[in-house]
Each structure stands twice: as structure tokens, then as C-alpha cells.
A and B are shown apart, each in its own frame.
Chain A
Amino acid sequence: DSGVTQTPKHLITATGQRVTLRCSPRSGDLSVYWYQQSLDQGLQFLIQYYNGEERAKGNILERFSAQQFPDLHSELNLSSLELGDSALYFCASSPSGGSNYGYTFGSGTRLTVV
């Protein structure tokens, strides 16, 4: 157990729907990062939050949004889902905005859009 908790582990939904993925960071970590992993693209950085504020943005689609709450957990909202959004979505956390100790990843949410 890495200490980063992601729920749900698996999610199957239809095209056009909206889903919310949840992440609880490791105790004491202030930063949360979201990544998407697909077979053809590999791991892609989506967005980072630090202590409740957006810190950096990657290749995140406009249909996707995220937020970090006062208790530091984060949610990734995916809307108007398309077949191509099927992927593993990982959350990672670190103590600060960058890390000498790497980023601790959760075990991911596997999203299947049918």
C-alpha cells in the first residue's frame, strides 16, 4: 500500500456520461497530481494541485476538470465521455510542489467507456 488511495478501482460507463474519480493523498503530502495512462500514449500529466490551488497544467482536455478540497483530497471530473477516454487514471502525491523523494502513485482507476 503506497498510502495514496484512489476510488473506484474500476469504472464502466457509456459515451456522453460524466464520472468523478477520487484521490486521497499520502498523509502529510500537500500536492496531488493526476495522470492518464493509455496503451498508445503512455503516462500523460494532466494537472497538479498544491494545498488547494491549481499549480500546473498539462495535456488536460476542456471536458476534464479537477479540484483539491480543504482536507487535501482531490477529485477529477470527466464529462461528455468518449471511447478514447478509456484509460488508467493515476493520482500521485508529494510533500511539496516538487519532490526530492519522487512522487507516490496510487493504484489507479481503470475507466472503460462503452
Chain B
Amino acid sequence: EDQVTQSPEALRLQEGESSSLNCSYTVSGLRGLFWYRQDPGKGPEFLFTLYSAGEEKEKERLKATLTKKESFLHITAPKPEDSATYLCAVQARNSGGGADGLTFGKGTHLIIQP
């Protein structure tokens, strides 16, 4: 069974204080690892897809990296508007050669204080 564990569950940072969020996963045949941002009462917003170990992607103050067992979301010099819940998800290859639905972690609730 595919599993995704995110840590920490919650993180409070000062504005400008860089940090990393962790996503550990086990999956039978990784098709892709996804990062989403979710604001309260809204649907998840797509950030990145990573496909293979060693891959990195960046968007503004966010950088996602991938190894064979985990992914990190690095947040550099965060601003209050970066406050949100960050979700990690994996997609496995199914037996038919296609892709299953996403298996999500429970998220990291990030608060950036001014």
C-alpha cells in the first residue's frame, strides 16, 4: 500500500527564516511526486511534479527536491503570504500500465509570522 508521511505537522517561522518540509514515501513504482499548497476552505493548488531521484524544481521562494525515499520542499526567506498547508502526494503506476489516483500525506501547516 502506498504511504506518504509529512513532517512536521505544523511549523511556525518568522518572516525571512528559511526552512524545509519533509515528505517520506513508499510506493510501488513511482510515476510522480506532487506538491500542493492548500489555503483554508479552498482546493489544493498545484506547485510541482517530480519524477525521478535527483530532480529539482523551483518557483519563487519554493524549491522541491526528490530522492528515492523522500522529497523536501525548501522555503527560502518566506513571507506571510506563504502561510498555508503544504501537501505532498505520490502517484503510482497501476497494473494496467496507467496511473492510479494520488495518495496524499496529511500536510504541513505552515505559519509565517511578520
Identify the A interface with B (CB < 8 A). 2, 4, 33, 35, 42-48, 55-56, 58, 90, 92, 97-108
Contact = CB atoms under 8 A, between A and B. Distances in A.
Interface of B: 31-32, 34, 36, 41-49, 87, 89, 91, 94, 98-107
A42 to B, nearest CB: 4
Given A56-B94, A98-B91, A102-B46, A48 B34 contact: no
B31 A2 contact: no
22 contacts: A2-B45, A35-B101, A43-B87, A43-B102, A45-B103, A46-B101, A48-B101, A55-B98, A56-B98, A56-B101, A90-B43, A97-B98, A98-B98, A99-B49, A101-B46, A102-B36, A103-B102, A104-B46, A105-B43, A105-B45, A106-B43, A107-B41
The listed residue with most B CB atoms (<10 A of its CB), out of A44, A47, A58, A103, is: A103
A103 B107 CA distance: 17
Contacts, number: 69
Contacts of B47: 102
Contacts of B87: 43
A33 B102 CA distance: 9
Nearest to B44: A105
Nearest to B89: A43
A58 B100 CA distance: 8
A33 B101 CA distance: 8
Contacts of B105: 42
Given A42-B107, A103-B34, A107-B43, 9 more contacts: A2-B45, A44-B104, A46-B101, A48-B101, A56-B98, A58-B100, A97-B98, A103-B46, A104-B46
B94 A98 contact: no
A43 B44 contact: yes
A64 to B, nearest CB: 14
Contacts of B106: 42
